[in-house]
Amino acid sequence: MAERAKLAVRGSSMKPLEIGLYEEGHHNVVDIPHSHHPNINAAVELLRQGVTKLNIEPYDEDEGTGELRYVQMAVTTYNTSLPAPERYKNSKVQVSLVWNSRNENSHNFEKLNALANFLWRNGGPKSDVRFIHSVWANFQTSTNNIIFGNRWRHLLGESGFWEHVGGIDVSLSPSSFGQANTRAFDNLLRKLQKYVPYGASVTDLSVKCVEVNKESKLSFEKTVERLPNYVDSSISWHHADTSVEPLSWLMGSEVVVVDPPRKGLDASLLDVLQTISSLERKAKSAPESSYSKVKDEKRPWVLRAMKDSVQIGSKPALEDSESLPQTLIYISCGWESFKEDCKSLLSSKKWRLEKAHGFNFFPGTQRYCSFLFSCISLPKSAVSISLECLLVQIVITVVVKSKQWLISSYHEESVELPNDSEFSIHVYSMPSYVH
């Protein structure tokens, strides 16, 4: 069951009102009740009541009319006042209403306010159920398929939203990208940590940290403030597109982590990774590398990224270092694109595939290996895994009772491969409740 859901709101304020996902290959919204975290299901039902009672008009894609376009529901289980086993069922929901107007000065803002107050009054801390964490508004008038606009407003409830993943507290804003299955993501991060040598310099090209979403800056700063005192390191955040001169972001890093969208790596980054060994030799042979002349930097996109950057920690960042990554950690949500990227990297003879782990983020669906985590490192010997070894058929057996998935914990299957290497698939599902 998902802990984060973006749902389209279509139909009419009277029945039928659909709040759900698009049918595959179409823009018909399919209502999907009881398919999420129990408190998201309850919040969707409460929203449905509010839309009907207040005569809120769902968005009409053909005409561009209506008021409520989408809703995002995100669950936080972060509650240190409760024992860990009780946090999941007592979690709260952050509700983000995507409103079809430019800003809060629009003529229909009073109806948005009324809907937010309805949700807060019936699901907030003074209600009997108390499962609403906060209510936010996003303003979007574009006719394209982009769900969110650029303007956000906090309406009610707590402004801070936290999760504990990968061993640290992470701040998430409504505009932050978050995984639907937090438990699976937490286990992926803990597995990833084992491949990063202690003291290594790391560039994270998923969100140095180099991120295309400028809204993540505040979340980064809040997260860093909560890092344990024993974390003595230099951490920086940059707002940039890594497809533009990606080498400038790789310089000075021993490990690079990539987490591309389903289409895979940008061609420019893939090209640099394929030739990384020769680039490192050229950098070391040059008397004074051009990559290290930060003081003479004139490229506007690099200057903008430097201006927007955030530097945390007492240790100096390795901006002037001429070293290049020896380890690449690839997190993929697209199997087909990963296969193509992997073939390109392996065919260059500069990399070898060392380990791969599959994580099933959506148990009970056809996307059996939604996120594939791989570790690829520069050649040290002839030992490697061929890409074909990853095409191992994994059969996951689940128990079905009363039409509910009954997986309250995870199980793991590992397939031993030649040369002491392995491919393993991990199934992590959230506890489900049978009524």
Which residue type is seen at 257? V
Percentage of the chain exceeding pLDDT 90: 32
Rounded CA Rg of the chain: 23
Positive or negative torsion for Cα 203, 206, 212, 215: negative
Helix intervals (H) in 34-181: 38-53, 84-87, 109-123
The yes-or-no verdict on residue 365 having pLDDT over 70 is no
Q: What is the pLDDT of residues 38-53, one digit of tens each?
A: 999 999 999 999 999 9
Amino acid identity of residue 139, one-letter, is F
| Among 51-65, 226-240, 308-322, the range of highest mean pLDDT | 51-65
CB of 294 within 8 A of CB of 302? Answer: no
Kindly report, as residue ranges, where domains of CATH 3.40.50.150 are found in the chain.
182-427
Q: Is the dihedral of CA 264, 268, 269, 273 positive or negative?
A: positive
> What pLDDT, on the 0 to 100 scale, is given for residue 296?
54
Give 336: exposed, middle or buried? Use CB within 10 Å, 0-12, 13-18, 19+: exposed
> Of 62, 50, 80, nearest to 10 (Cα)?
62
Identify the band that residue 10 occupies on the pLDDT scale cut at 50, 70 and 90. very high
Q: What are phi and psi of 321, to 5 degrees?
A: -70, 145
Residue 114 DSSP code:
H
**Where in the chain do CATH 2.40.50.1070 domains reside?**
4-161
Helix (H, G, I), strand (E, B) or coil at 430: coil
CA separation for the pair 156, 152 (Å, rounded): 13
Identify whether the C-beta of residue 140 lies closer than 8 Å to the C-beta of residue 64: no
pLDDT digits (tens, 9 = 90+) for 179-233: 888 888 888 898 888 888 777 777 665 436 877 677 788 888 899 888 887 766 6
Span 236-275, pLDDT tens digits = 888 888 888 888 888 888 889 998 888 999 999 999 999 8
Question: Can you read off the two tokens belonging to residue 382?
Answer: 């002839």
What is 182-427's CATH number, 2.40.10.10, 3.40.50.150, 3.40.50.300, 2.40.50.100? 3.40.50.150
Q: Which CATH architecture has domain 4-161?
A: Beta Barrel (2.40)
* Cα–Cα distances in angstroms (integers) from residue 389 to residues 314, 370, 408, 417, in the given order: 44, 18, 30, 7
The backbone torsions φ and ψ at residue 8, rounded to the nearest 5 degrees and listed phi first, read -80, 145
- Closest of 3, 21, 311, 307 to residue 172, by C-alpha: 3
- Which strands make up the sheet holding 210-211, listed edge to edge? 210-211, 235-239, 310-312
Amino acid present at 75? V
Max mean pLDDT range (7-16, 98-107, 366-375):
98-107
DSSP class per residue in 314-338: SSPP-TT-----SEEEEEES-HHHH
Quote the mean pLDDT of the chain: 77
Token couple for 137:
């508004």
Position 113 pLDDT exceeds 80: yes
pLDDT value for 399: 30
Length of the chain: 435
Q: Please tell me which residue, 23 or 424, carries the higher pLDDT value.
A: 23
As a whole number, mean pLDDT of residues 298-308 equals: 58
Q: Are 229 and 165 in contact (CB under 8 A)?
A: no
Task: Give the pLDDT confidence score for residue 147 in this predicted structure.
Answer: 95
- The token duo for 36 is 């999420």
DSSP 295: G
Average pLDDT over residues 127-141: 97
Residue pair 358/424 in contact by the 8 Å Cβ criterion: yes
d(CA 306, CA 240): 9
pLDDT value at position 160?
Answer: 92
Instruction: Indicate if the pLDDT at residue 99 is higher than 90.
Output: yes
Helix (H) / strand (E) containing 274? helix 267-274
pLDDT digits (tens, 9 = 90+) for 387-420: 544 443 333 322 332 233 333 333 343 333 333 3
| 213 Rama sector, left if φ>0, alpha if ψ -120 to 50, beta otherwise | beta
Give one DSSP letter per residue of 242-253, joined into a string. Answer: TTSSTHHHHTT-
For 288, half-sphere exposure in the C-beta direction (CA atoms, 13 angstrom radius) is 3
Q: Centre a 10 Å sphere on the Cβ of residue 286 and count the other Cβ atoms it contains.
A: 12
The DSSP 8-state label assigned to residue 291 in this structure reads G
Joined tokens for residue 99: 């409103």
User: Is the pTM of the predicted complex or chain greater than 0.85?
Assistant: no
- What percentage of residues in the chain have a pLDDT greater than 70? 72
